[in-house]
A and B are shown apart, each in its own frame.
Chain A
Amino acid sequence: MVKTDNLLNSILSLGLPKDILKNPSIVIEGHNVIREVPYPGISIEKRTHEDRIEVRINVLPGVVVEKPVHMCLSKLGSGDQLIDITVDVGEGAKVKMISHCAFKGKNLKHISRTKFRVRKGASLEVSEIHYHEKDTDIVIDAKSEGVVEERASYKSLFKIDSNNAGKVRVEYVVDILDHAVADVETKIAGRDGDEIYVKDIMYLKGKYSRAIAKSRLMALGDTKAEFYGETYGLGDYSRGHIDCSEIVRSENVTVKAIPIVVVNNETAKVTHEAAVGSIDKKQLETLMARGLDEDEAVDVIVKGMLR
């Protein structure tokens, strides 16, 4: 118990909101579940293996979860964390999940494979927020694949904005059926030595399906950052939009933004915008005219943009 408390304290000390343990939550350090506060109507099955952990989350049909369900995934020290997550949101259910990912140490690897299904008329909102301690050296490989069924909605946010992001690969592949909506957003700030790759693939299969794939990547040091977005307008009257903006603040950066639009249905419409630019000088100078030096000013602007 003492050991668990110490562990929880070290995890929380990385900057996580303190109240997360009050809400329904599950805390996984490495491949072990160290704490769980259940919520009626949600079943969480865990299976621990030598080299990975499996987590199956089922939200029963019609269950509306008022408070967000918190998941805390952490790895302190070194080594790998492999997580297979399955999320099944039953018909008409409504749930919001927040994953706080806390990492500290060297030679870390966090690999997650998420399969989700948002059934008819249901709603799933997920956020994955990373907390990396200073000088953490990590590889992140997060892939989410899923289906948003008829009239269902899926909204996701993936965000890293603390110290070094690491070598990051984030991938989404989403099928969107009739009248369903998907909104996928990625916000990552990269600093010296970081490599960021974000890939969003959206299949607008259903009629009147809608999708937005949005990414904000900041190259604040010697960073590689690449966004690749593909949206397929296949269903009748489907609508998609890819929005990617990358901010550069260093000489040694390689940034790419590649939006690809494939439409094979004359009633479908997919648009895109991609912008690569530097931090607005007037914003910088406005803050500097209040006494912030350039780094402090950049920090305020970037935090705001990644909010």
Chain B
Amino acid sequence: MEPILKVNNVKLTVDGKAILRGVNLEVDRGEIHAILGPNGAGKSTLAKLIMGIEDLKSPTEGEIIFDGKVINGLEVYERARLGITLAWQEPARFEGVTVEEYLRLSARNNPDVDIRKCLEEVGLVPEVYLKRFVDDSLSGGERKRVELASILAFRPKFVVLDEIDSGIDFTSIEDIQKILETMREEGITVLMITHNEKLLDVADRASLLCGGKVLETSDPQSIKRKFEECKVCDILDFERKEGRDGKDG
């Protein structure tokens, strides 16, 4: 079967600096695919290019193909309407918008979606949360759960989760594991950026992104080992830090 997402030799240069240097990646339909890589490797940048956010609508070179269609240059909402969505590492807050309203607008094209069930799936009691506001009054963990519920309500074909585990306490990781499994059962393909051991347990495959390139795609455990041993990554990580410090000084 055709992969749902194909990243073909994607390069991105911003202000003369090469951030992605030829990324090749294939994500299969229905899989949970993890991306590992050192800080500054370009993981979030790749996620942004897939969703088209933060003015990253087209790579400098290469193509991103979703469901057989080149999505370079498409607007964020056009990609969403093709079935792509993304959860931010720090989700935005909305003054005056209730959890119920937020989930309803996520589910507006899925009349059969039960938003109470979406909340239950992410471990939030509907009676307590539906009328709460998606603003600063939610804790970081609650806000992330609401975001995951809104993804379930939106029912995308494909979701990018950028460090969904950051800022969530240890016990909740098991909840996220369950949510990922729910997503897989519902046929949602997941691309998740994470180093979390427990989340990697749920992944079907993983890729190692390092120095702006995918070095390897394989089963999550071997990628995890490669990442830990990866001298190339260490050197690149080190060089990047040196380079940055050099510029700053």
Contact = CB atoms under 8 A, between A and B. Distances in A.
Contacts of B91: 286
B75 A289 contact: no
Contacts of B207: none
A304 B154 contact: no
Contacts of A303: 96-97
Nearest to A291: B80
Given A290-B106, A291-B77, A305 B95 contact: yes
A288 B51 CA distance: 10
A251 interface: no
Contacts of B54: 281, 285
Given A288-B75, A291-B81, A282 B51 contact: no
Give the interface residue-count category, chain A.
20 to 34
Interface string B197-229: 000000000000000000000000000000000
A78 to B, nearest CB: 34
B138 interface: no
Contacts of B88: 282, 286
Interface string B91-102: 111111100010
Contacts, number: 63
Interface residues of B, number: 27
Contacts of A300: 94, 97, 101, 105
Contacts of B94: 283, 300-301, 304
A275 to B, nearest CB: 14
Given A290-B85, A290-B154, A300-B97, A285 B76 contact: yes
B52 to A, nearest CB: 9
B77 to A, nearest CB: 4
A280 B92 contact: yes
B86 interface: yes
A237 B82 CA distance: 60
Contacts of A293: 75, 77
A120 B109 CA distance: 54
B189 interface: no
A106 B232 CA distance: 71
B105 A285 contact: no
B183 to A, nearest CB: 16
Contact of B86 (A289, A297, A301, A307): A289
A282 B92 contact: yes
B53 interface: yes
Given A285-B53, A289-B76, A291-B77, A306 B85 contact: no
Contact of B76 (A280, A288, A306, A307): A288
B80 A288 contact: yes
Given A282-B88, A282-B92, A288-B80, A304 B97 contact: yes
A292 B75 CA distance: 11
Interface in B44-68: 51, 53-54
A266 interface: no
Contacts of B108: 291
9 contacts: A281-B54, A283-B93, A285-B54, A289-B86, A290-B85, A290-B154, A291-B81, A304-B97, A307-B95
Interface of B: 51, 53-54, 75-77, 79-81, 84-86, 88, 91-97, 101, 105-106, 108-109, 150, 154
